[in-house]
């Protein structure tokens, strides 16, 4: 029996993870969850899994949760780091969205916990600090992002062999078949219609801008110790090949499956074992053709912005990430256009002075600096 904690249990990944744990209740025991605001989902989880420890990270929701659940331990955002260090658990899934996931990831990596990592933003913002902390403490980071899970599975097929190249596949997002003028006019409602995956709103917008793929290039470089030049992005509209590894003999190994996040979540929780399930199988005959094409950087400038931030290093990926989060929020609210997102990420990176070797504290302080900049200048 493996004990599991889930941070961000009320989100899209969180709910898929609860399904996996439910299906394999003979192997996994859920011992705690966090939610930010969604107490309705929390209530269901508490009764479905008989939980006695939960975290509620939003202050207002916390007060209400303490009233609603007087019989269990309800911890706050301020308690989170101490709780994660002290609570005995075999593996923690970090499925919080955005930079809010950074401190929990760093805490888990510093105290030697196994982490199933969905929150790519933490590696993007603090990849170097996090990988160093994990190395020092013995913490293992198991990727949940489907592309990285695919690469990890391909690498596990040839243990100890350094890959020559990684191919990250991308569906192309909601606007893949539209021209630049149409994309410029399209609102968030349209961007939220992802052709293949059902996900939270922030990552669905990130898929439309291809920023998501850029964040994934950064994530892949940290997880698998690759340079940006060794990672190639391919548009693969069927989302059947989740990513590929090319070895030094020229062989390419791919991982295929349906676009269903329960598969990578299962593998991260059960590694090195594969668990039987009855989820729908990929029907290759009905898929028929697997297509690949290159990224159109004119329509989707987000990917090169990310690669640039990664190459520049220091606090640049954090600045990019915070600016992206802020701009995505504005786009979702209808207060920014689609290309404002990448334009204002570029401006933030140009105008905000660089810190070369930021500490975690300095990285966290960048949040306010970037937000202040955007609040002052973005109109
Ligand atoms: P969702 O928006 O569906 O869920 C986000 C979760 O984070 C919710 O539980 C939410 O709580 C919680 N949350 C939001 N803000 C905060 C905060 N400030 N502090 C603490 N918790 C917070 O996101 P997804 O599940 O789609 O994505 C989660 C992560 O996984 C992201 O980093 C994403 O990039 C990554 N990922 C997601 C994939 C997917 O298929 N969805 C695929 C690959 C990676 P509440 O709802 O209670 O307010
Ligand atoms: Mg992904």
Which of 203, 209, 268 most suits a substitution to test ligand 1, by most atoms within 8 Å of the C-beta? 203
Per-residue confidence (pLDDT) for residue 91, from 0 to 100: 98
Q: What is the mean pLDDT of the chain?
A: 97
Q: Token pair of 4, please?
A: 């599991």
Which of 45, 97, 261, 263 most suits a substitution to test ligand 1, by most atoms within 8 Å of the C-beta? 97
Nearest ligand (C-alpha, residue 148): 2
Q: Token pair of 30, please?
A: 């859920």
Identify the CATH number of the domain defined by range 313-379.
Answer: 1.10.1740.10
Q: Please check the confidence at residue 291 and state whether its pLDDT lies above 90.
A: yes
State whether the beta carbon of 76 lies less than 6 angstroms from ligand 1: no
8 Å CB contact between 194 and 259: no
Q: Please check the confidence at residue 379 and state whether its pLDDT lies above 90.
A: no
8 Å CB contact between 194 and 209: no
The pLDDT tens digits of the residues spanning 310-336 come to 999 999 999 999 999 999 999 999 999
Identify the CATH number of the domain defined by range 2-144.
Answer: 3.40.50.720
Please tell me the distance from the alpha carbon of residue 200 to that of residue 196, in angstroms, as a whole number.
Answer: 13
Q: Which atom of ligand 1 is nearest to the CA of 38?
A: 47
* Mean pLDDT along residues 149-153: 98
**Full DSSP string of 314-353:** TTHHHHHHHHHHHHHHHHHTTSS-HHHHHHHHHHHHHHSP
Please tell me the distance from the alpha carbon of residue 199 to that of residue 171, in angstroms, as a whole number.
Answer: 13
State whether the beta carbon of 61 lies less than 6 angstroms from ligand 1: no
Q: Please check the confidence at residue 283 and state whether its pLDDT lies above 90.
A: yes
The pLDDT tens digits of the residues spanning 49-71 come to 999 999 999 999 999 999 999 99
Q: Whose CA is nearest to atom 30 of ligand 1?
A: 118
Per-residue confidence (pLDDT) for residue 2, from 0 to 100: 98
The CA angle 91-167-124, to the nearest 5 degrees, is 50
The confidence band for 203, taking pLDDT boundaries of 50, 70 and 90, is very high
Nearest ligand (C-alpha, residue 242): 2
Phi, psi values for residue 145, rounded to 5°: -50, 135
Length of the chain: 379
Q: Token pair of 377, please?
A: 């200048």
What is the distance in angstroms between the CA of the first residue and the CA of the last residue of the chain? 54
State whether the beta carbon of 55 lies less than 6 angstroms from ligand 1: no
b/e map 129-147, b = 16+ CB within 10 Å: bbbebbeeeebebbbbbbb
Whether the bond into 79 is cis, omega within 30 of 0: no
Q: Token pair of 49, please?
A: 């899994």
State whether the beta carbon of 102 lies less than 6 angstroms from ligand 1: no
Name the nearest CA neighbour of 52 among 24, 87, 26, 77.
Answer: 87
* Mean pLDDT along residues 156-163: 94
Domain edges within the chain: 2-144, 148-311, 313-379
The pLDDT tens digits of the residues spanning 206-225 come to 999 999 999 999 999 999 99
Strand partners, 234: 169
Per-residue confidence (pLDDT) for residue 48, from 0 to 100: 97
Q: Please check the confidence at residue 197 and state whether its pLDDT lies above 90.
A: no
The confidence band for 157, taking pLDDT boundaries of 50, 70 and 90, is very high
Per-residue confidence (pLDDT) for residue 359, from 0 to 100: 98
Radius of gyration of the chain (CA): 20
Name the nearest CA neighbour of 327 among 174, 98, 145.
Answer: 98
Q: Please check the confidence at residue 140 and state whether its pLDDT lies above 90.
A: yes
8 Å CB contact between 281 and 258: yes
**Full DSSP string of 199-262:** --HHHHHHHHHTHHHHHHHHHHHHHHT--GGGEEEEE-TT--EEEEEE-TTS-EEEEE--S-TH
Which of 5, 6, 10, 13 most suits a substitution to test ligand 1, by most atoms within 8 Å of the C-beta? 13
The pLDDT tens digits of the residues spanning 86-100 come to 999 999 999 999 999
Per-residue confidence (pLDDT) for residue 122, from 0 to 100: 98
Q: Token pair of 352, please?
A: 């905000």
State whether the beta carbon of 115 lies less than 6 angstroms from ligand 1: no
Q: Please check the confidence at residue 175 and state whether its pLDDT lies above 90.
A: yes
The pLDDT tens digits of the residues spanning 10-26 come to 999 999 999 999 999 99
State whether the beta carbon of 170 lies less than 6 angstroms from ligand 1: no
Number of Cβ atoms within 10 Å of the Cβ of 189: 10
Task: Give percent of the chain with pLDDT exceeding 90.
Answer: 98
Q: Please check the confidence at residue 194 and state whether its pLDDT lies above 90.
A: no
Q: Token pair of 165, please?
A: 């190249």
Helix axis angle for 120-137 and 316-332, nearest 10°, is 140
Q: Which atom of ligand 1 is nearest to the CA of 120?
A: 32
CA dihedral (238, 240, 243, 245) in degrees, to 10, reads -120
């Amino acid at each position: 029996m493996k004990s599991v904690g889930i941070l961000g249990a009320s989100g899209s990944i969180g709910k898929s993870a609860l399904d996996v744990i439910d299906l394999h209740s003979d192997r996994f025991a859920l011992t705690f969850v966090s939610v930010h605001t969604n107490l309705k989902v929390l209530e269901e989880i508490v009764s479905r899994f008989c939980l006695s420890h939960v975290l509620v990270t939003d202050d207002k929701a916390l007060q209400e949760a303490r009233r609603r659940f007087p019989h269990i331990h309800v911890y706050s955002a301020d308690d989170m780091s101490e709780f994660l260090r002290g609570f005995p658990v075999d593996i923690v899934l970090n499925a919080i969205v955005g930079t809010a996931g950074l401190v929990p990831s760093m805490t888990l990596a510093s105290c030697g916990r196994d982490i199933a990592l969905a929150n790519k933003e933490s590696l993007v913002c603090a990849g170097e600090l996090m990988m160093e902390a994990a190395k020092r403490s013995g913490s293992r980071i198991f990727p949940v992002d489907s592309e990285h899970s695919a690469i990890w599975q391909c690498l596990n097929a040839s243990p100890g062999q350094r890959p020559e190249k990684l191919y990250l596949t991308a569906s192309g997002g909601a606007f893949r078949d539209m021209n630049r003028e149409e994309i410029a006019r399209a609102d968030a409602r349209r961007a939220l219609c992802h052709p293949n995956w059902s996900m939270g709103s922030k990552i669905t917008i990130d898929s439309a801008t291809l920023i998501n793929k850029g964040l994934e290039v950064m994530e892949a470089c940290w997880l698998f110790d690759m340079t940006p030049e060794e990672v190639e992005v391919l548009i693969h509209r069927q989302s059947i090949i989740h990513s590929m590894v090319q070895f030094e003999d020229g062989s390419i190994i791919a991982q295929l499956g349906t676009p269903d996040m329960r598969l990578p979540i299962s593998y991260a929780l059960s590694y090195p074992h594969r668990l039987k399930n009855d989820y729908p199988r990929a029907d290759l005959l009905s898929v028929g053709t697997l297509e690949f094409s290159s990224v159109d950087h004119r329509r989707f400038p987000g990917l090169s912005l990310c690669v640039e931030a990664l190459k520049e290093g220091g606090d640049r990926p954090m600045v990019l990430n915070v600016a992206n989060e802020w701009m995505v929020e504005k786009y979702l609210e209808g207060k920014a256009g689609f290309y404002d997102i990448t334009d204002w990420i570029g401006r933030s990176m140009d105008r905000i002075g660089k810190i070369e070797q930021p500490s975690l504290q300095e990285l966290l302080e960048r949040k306010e600096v970037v937000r202040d900049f955007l609040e002052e200048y973005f109109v």
